[in-house]
Amino acid sequence: MAKQVPELSIFFPFWNEEKNIEQVVKKAIPVAKEVAKKWEILMIDDGSSDNTYQIAKKLAATDPTHLRAITHTPNRGYGAALKEGLINSKYELVVFMDGDDQFDFSEVTKFIDLIGPVDIVIGKRKRRLDHPFRHVLMTLLKIWDFVFFGFYFEDIDCGFKMFKKEAIQKILPLSSEGAMITTEILAKALKNKLRILQVGVNHYPRKFGDQSGGNPRVIFRAIRESLDLWRNLHYGRA
């Protein structure tokens, strides 16, 4: 029997994940029932052009007490989806996992075991199963964040993180709409002296859908958002 918490908000960001969303959510439901007395699952659709949101609505209709479908249009970016989830989660513990089915949600028990004395627990992929170019981008991101923001984490953009609700309140508002959202979260968390732990998680190959992280438009947007964040942090507006 896993350790059970009083309440837990779970959210998944989705963008064009019509082939993944149902499996991701249905695998999470029995885990949620086991680890939390009260729980909710938020399906955050980032303006998908496929049937992702339609499937989310059908899933939500099967259990309106626990499942919610949220969307925004047009597509705004990964950061916008994470902000939507963080803002709309109602319980005292909040966890998100990327909706591409590359993580195993049952590993949330590792996060629950660690969250007590800390404010945020972030996953670190034991072996990242992505295109080699994504590994290069991760290395560059770690260097970038160390130079500009003075911190180092083994896996900054791992899409599996848990927060105490009070920690989220301290880092809001968040401005990044794209890939730099994780850098902004960690930079503001450290500025507010929040306690952060890392925990190893397994990572699996993507079976369906496409990754957008290596898209040049996404990369240039991330650089712009990072520079904006640096200015805001240093000039007292963040």
φ and ψ at residue 13, rounded to 5 degrees:
-80, 135
Strands 93-97 and 160-164: antiparallel
Question: Domains of the chain (ranges plus CATH)?
Answer: 5-234 (3.90.550.10)
Q: What single-letter amino acid sits at 62?
A: T
| Higher per-residue confidence, 217 vs 119 | 119
**What pTM does this model have?**
0.90
Residue 9 CA to residue 111 CA, distance in Å, equals 13
Beta bridge partners of 42: 11, 68
Beta bridge partners of 44: 13, 70
The mean per-residue pLDDT over the stretch 219-236 comes to: 77
Question: Minimum mean pLDDT among 28-42, 135-149, 181-195, 214-228: which range?
Answer: 214-228
The mean per-residue pLDDT over the stretch 185-212 comes to: 91
| The pLDDT of residue 134 is above 80 | no
Q: What is the pLDDT of residue 11?
A: 98
If 0-12 CB within 10 Å is exposed, 13-18 middle and 19+ buried, where does residue 111 land? buried
Residue 149 CA to residue 190 CA, distance in Å, equals 10
Helix, strand or coil for residue 202?
A: coil
Instruction: Collect all residues with Cβ–Cβ distance below 8 Å to 169 and sequence separation of at least 6.
Output: none
Residue 115 CA to residue 3 CA, distance in Å, equals 12
pLDDT averaged over the chain? 91
Cα–Cα nearest to 97, from 166, 170, 41: 41
Cα–Cα nearest to 219, from 159, 174, 178: 178
The mean per-residue pLDDT over the stretch 151-164 comes to: 94
Instruction: Give the DSSP H/E element, type plus range, for residue 141.
Output: helix 132-149
DSSP string, 90-113: -SSEEEEE-TTS-S-GGGHHHHHH
Cα–Cα nearest to 229, from 164, 173, 184: 184
Instruction: Collect all residues with Cβ–Cβ distance below 8 Å to 73 and sequence separation of at least 6.
Output: 47
pLDDT band at 119 (very low <50, low <70, confident <90, very high): very high
